[in-house]
Amino acid sequence: MRKILPFIIFSIILFSCTKENTDTPLATLEPSGNLAPSPTDELVEEQKEQPTTQITLNEITTDFERFMGQNNFRGAQLAIIRNEKLVYLNAFGVSDVDKKIPVSNSTLFRVASISKPITLLAISKLILDEKLDINERVFGTNSILGTTYGSLPYETEELQITVEHLVEHTAGFANEPTDIMFEPVNLNFNSLAGKVLDERSLTFEPGLRFQYSNFGYALLGKIIEAKSGQSYKDYVKENILEPNLINDVYMGKSTIEEKLPNETMYYSTWASPYSMNLERLDAAGGWISNAKSLALLAVKSDGRFNVNNILPAGEGVSYLLRSSWTHNGALPGTLAALHVGHPFSYVVLVNSGESNFAIVLDAIHTFMNNMIERQDAWPNTDLFEPSQ
């Protein structure tokens, strides 16, 4: 396991939040704040819809099959949303190479750090329900987690960490010498958290700059538990997923023997996909799902008016307030790309992942953006509907 740690430090996700330029959809991306369309904008978009008949998306299928071959993907799922309708959903390749089992649209994939937007939705819901303040301190007397982890006294800067610092990856936690979330699989989270607080001083004062941290998002899972009185998984299921009819989202397991019946196998020459503690990643990277369920999550997280959102308009924290954002995930044997925006959102899930994940994820987004721009007409169907 220790042989792969220098690579895995970055493996959960290459993270970005972006705003799309609506004049050239998905081609030019720039930062943005909270934007929302007017009902008139929605009507105009509906008037632009094309008839269901006479339009096929076969070229997308052909092009993605070619793209899969170029990148040696074993299996994948692809979903495209236009104007909050699921206009394209397809499965490619095999979920089990040895048994020659094809990927279907219901096959489950590890989504790695696309778990983080799910966690952020749960944090936002607690804030909306006035059960949590984003400025609350995380550690020390009269804080959320108190003195649960590590030994006293805490360092002064550790006592300054707030929920917002964890959300924005600005708490100061370092992935040095390794990402603590990939320490030996037999250590529980309490032991890992103790090691961080006792043995790793913060690399900068909280709030000063960005330092991506899986550990920080794992702490957000513990904060959700402390404030809700439920397990992280149960709170997310009961307050984010089930009320919004987002099905087929489950907490993943580490080993082949424990994988769910409809879950894909994972393929990598970089490191064993089954040599990590996936359960310990939970809020940072532990969920599994399929492209259709994540597409519905995207539609209900985009701040638009057509579909009831998980959060009311103008609510949420961090990039959830933006009109467009992107999140990626990567583990050995896993690649996941999620773009939320308007008029287009998309999901790509792959059961292959190597150490060049950053390059491949960038290629996935470039491919999707180019393919969407090139398509000059779209069907007016909605594959979210059960009959389609």
Over residues 198-241, the pLDDT tens digits come to 999 999 999 999 999 999 999 999 999 999 999 999 999 999 99
pLDDT at 30: 28
What is the distance between the alpha carbons of residues 380 and 378, in angstroms, rounded to a whole number? 7
Which residues, 6+ apart, have CB-to-CB distance to 351 below 8 Å?
73, 74, 75, 76, 93, 95, 103, 109, 264, 265, 266, 267, 333, 334
User: For residue range 123-174, what is the model confidence (pLDDT) as tens digits?
Assistant: 999 999 999 999 999 999 999 999 999 999 999 999 999 999 999 999 999 8
pLDDT surpassing 60 at residue 359: yes
Which residues, 6+ apart, have CB-to-CB distance to 175 below 8 Å?
9, 211, 212, 213
pLDDT surpassing 70 at residue 260: yes
Query: 3-class DSSP state for residue 205?
Result: coil
Cβ 236 vs Cβ 223: under 8 Å: no
pLDDT surpassing 80 at residue 20: no
Give me the residue label for tokens 């490619």: 92
108 bridge partner residues: 263
pLDDT at 54: 62
DSSP structure class, residue 144: S
Q: Tell me the backbone φ, ψ of residue 284, rounded to 5 degrees.
A: -95, -25
- Lowest-pLDDT range, 4-13, 179-188, 336-345? 4-13
Domains annotated on the chain, with CATH = 2-131+230-374 (3.40.710.10)
Q: Which two tokens stand for residue 293?
A: 């369920």
Q: Which of 300, 324, 325, 294 is nearest to 313 (CA)?
A: 300
Give me the residue label for tokens 């219901």: 106
DSSP structure class, residue 135: T
Cβ 310 vs Cβ 127: under 8 Å: no
Chain centre distance of CA 39: 29
Give me the residue label for tokens 């096929």: 56
What is the distance between the alpha carbons of residues 65 and 330, in angstroms, rounded to a whole number? 21
pLDDT at 32: 31
pLDDT at 46: 44
What is the distance between the alpha carbons of residues 215 and 213, in angstroms, rounded to a whole number? 5
Cβ 291 vs Cβ 103: under 8 Å: no
- Residues 322-338: what's their mean pLDDT? 97
What is the distance between the alpha carbons of residues 136 and 215, in angstroms, rounded to a whole number? 18
Region of residue 54 (left: phi > 0; alpha: psi -120 to 50; beta: else): left
What is the distance between the alpha carbons of residues 353 and 329, in angstroms, rounded to a whole number? 10
Q: Which of 175, 163, 155 is nearest to 217 (CA)?
A: 163
Q: How many CA atoms lie within 13 A of 62 on its CB side?
A: 4
- Residues 273-289: what's their mean pLDDT? 97
pLDDT at 386: 75
